[in-house]
Amino acid sequence: MKTATRKSIWDLHCHLSGVNGKTVDERIARLMEYADRMGVERLVFFMGWPWSVDPDPDDFRRQNDQVIQALSHWHDRAFGFAYLNPKYPRECLAELDRCIAHGPLVGIKLWVSKRCKDSELDAIVERTAELKGVIFQHTWYKAGGNLEGESTPADLVALAARHPDIPMICGHAGGDWELGIRTVRDQKNLYLGTGGFDPTAGFMEMAVREVGEDRIIYGSDIGGRSFASQLAKVDGAEISEKAKEKILGGNLKQLMLPILKQKGIRL
C-alpha cells in the first residue's frame, strides 16, 4: 500500500469514539496507535461524548472541554474544532471567543441541530472567519429524508453564497455524493469533506472531475468509521498522485496554515 510511504496525511474528521478508554486521554492515545499504523500524521478532533444532536450550551461547552483536554498532550499532532449549536447564537459567539480566540481550537463543527441556510449562522461563520478558524458543516441527502435540523449541501450553498470569501467544508460530500458534488461544484468557496460514508468507487474520480483536486479534503470520521475504508477513497481512485497528495493533506494544511501559525503549531 502506498499510504504508509506518503509524507503527510492529515485527517480532517475524527471523534473520540470507537475505542475503549474511561478518559479522553486514554482514548486519544488508543486512536493514535491506529493513526500510526495507517501513516496518518495529523488529526482534527471534534465533539466529545456522550453525543448529542441538539446540545444546549452547557453540553457543547462540556464536549469542547473534552476535546481541549484530549489535545493537551498532542500539541502539534492533534487539532480541534469547537462543536456549536446555532440555535444558541449568543452562546456560540462566546464559545468561539473561549475556545478559538483564547483557547487552542482552530475551527468549528456544525452538525444536525439547525439547517445551515438560516440567517442565525451568518454571525457565527463571520466571527469564525475573523479568527481564521475552519468551518465544517455536516451535510447529507438521505433517501429516507433528513432530520429536521440536518443540512443538505444545498443549505450550505445558500450560506456559502452569502459569504463568498469564507471557505467552508461540506461534510460527507452530501453522503449521496453524486447529488452532493453537483450541488456544490459551482460554489467556489466550498470544499468537499470525504469522510463518513461508504467507500463507494467512483466518488473521488467524480469529485476531482467536477470540483477539482484543490477543493477536496480527506477525512475519516473515526472511530465510527475506519481509516481503512476512508483512505481507500483516495488510494483506490484513478486520479493523479499530485491530486492524492493535495486531498490527503495539502489542501487542509493550506486552509489551516494561518491559524496554526498564529497558535504556534510546529509544522
Partner 1 sequence: MITDVNINLSRWPFRRLPHDETAKLVGKLERAGITQAWACSFDGLLHHDISALNQRLADDCNQLGKGILVPFGCINPTLTGWQKDLAQCKRKHQMPGIRLFPNYHDYKLDDRLFADLLAQAEQEEMIVQIALKMEDERTQHPRLRVPAVDMKPLPELLEKHPKIRIVILNGMKTLRGDLLAELVEAGNVYFDISMQESVGGIEKMLKLIPLERVLFGSHFPFFYLESSLLKLKESNLGRFREEAIRYKNAAGLLKT
Closer to Zn ion by Cβ: residue 91 or 221: 221
Please tell me whether residue 80 adopts helix, strand or coil conformation: strand
CB of 172 to partner 1, least distance (A): 10
Q: Interface mask (CB under 5 A) for Zn ion, residues 212-231, using x and -?
A: ---------x----------
CB of 2 to partner 1, least distance (A): 9
**Cα diameter, the chain:** 48
Give the separation between CA 238 and CA 148, rounded to whole angstroms.
37
Q: Say which entry of Zn ion, partner 1, none residue 21 contacts (CB below 5 to 8 A, set by partner kind).
A: none
CB of 221 to Zn ion, least distance (A): 4
Applying CB under 8 A, the residues found at the interface with partner 1 are 1, 3-4, 18-19, 31, 34, 37-38, 140, 142-144, 175-176, 178, 197-202, 205, 222-229, 231-233, 235-238
> Crossing angle of helices 227-235/203-210, nearest 10°?
50
CB of 46 to Zn ion, least distance (A): 8
Closer to partner 1 by Cβ: residue 71 or 222: 222
Give the separation between CA 55 and CA 60, rounded to whole angstroms.
6
Closer to Zn ion by Cβ: residue 155 or 221: 221
Give the separation between CA 173 and CA 46, rounded to whole angstroms.
18
Distances (CA, A) of 99 to 155, 204, 231, 248, 252: 26, 33, 30, 26, 20
Q: Say which entry of partner 1, Zn ion, none residue 86 contacts (CB below 5 to 8 A, set by partner kind).
A: none
Which grid cell is 26? 486514554
Q: Say which entry of Zn ion, partner 1, none residue 85 contacts (CB below 5 to 8 A, set by partner kind).
A: none
Closer to partner 1 by Cβ: residue 55 or 199: 199
If you ran DSSP here, which 8-state letter would residue 103 be given? S
Closer to partner 1 by Cβ: residue 38 or 110: 38
CB of 224 to partner 1, least distance (A): 6
Residues whose CB falls within 8 Å of the CB of residue 183, separated by 6 or more in sequence, listed in order: 152, 153, 154, 157, 174
CB of 53 to partner 1, least distance (A): 16
Closer to partner 1 by Cβ: residue 1 or 267: 1
CB of 78 to partner 1, least distance (A): 15
Q: Binding residues for Zn ion, how many (CB under 5 A)?
A: 1
Question: What is the helix (H) or strand (E) element at residue 235, kind and residue range?
Answer: helix 227-235
Sheet holding 216-217, edge to edge: 82-84, 107-110, 134-138, 168-171, 190-193, 216-217
Closer to partner 1 by Cβ: residue 205 or 210: 205
Are the C-beta atoms of residues 108 and 84 closer than 8 Å to each other?
A: yes
Binding interface with Zn ion (CB under 5 A): 221
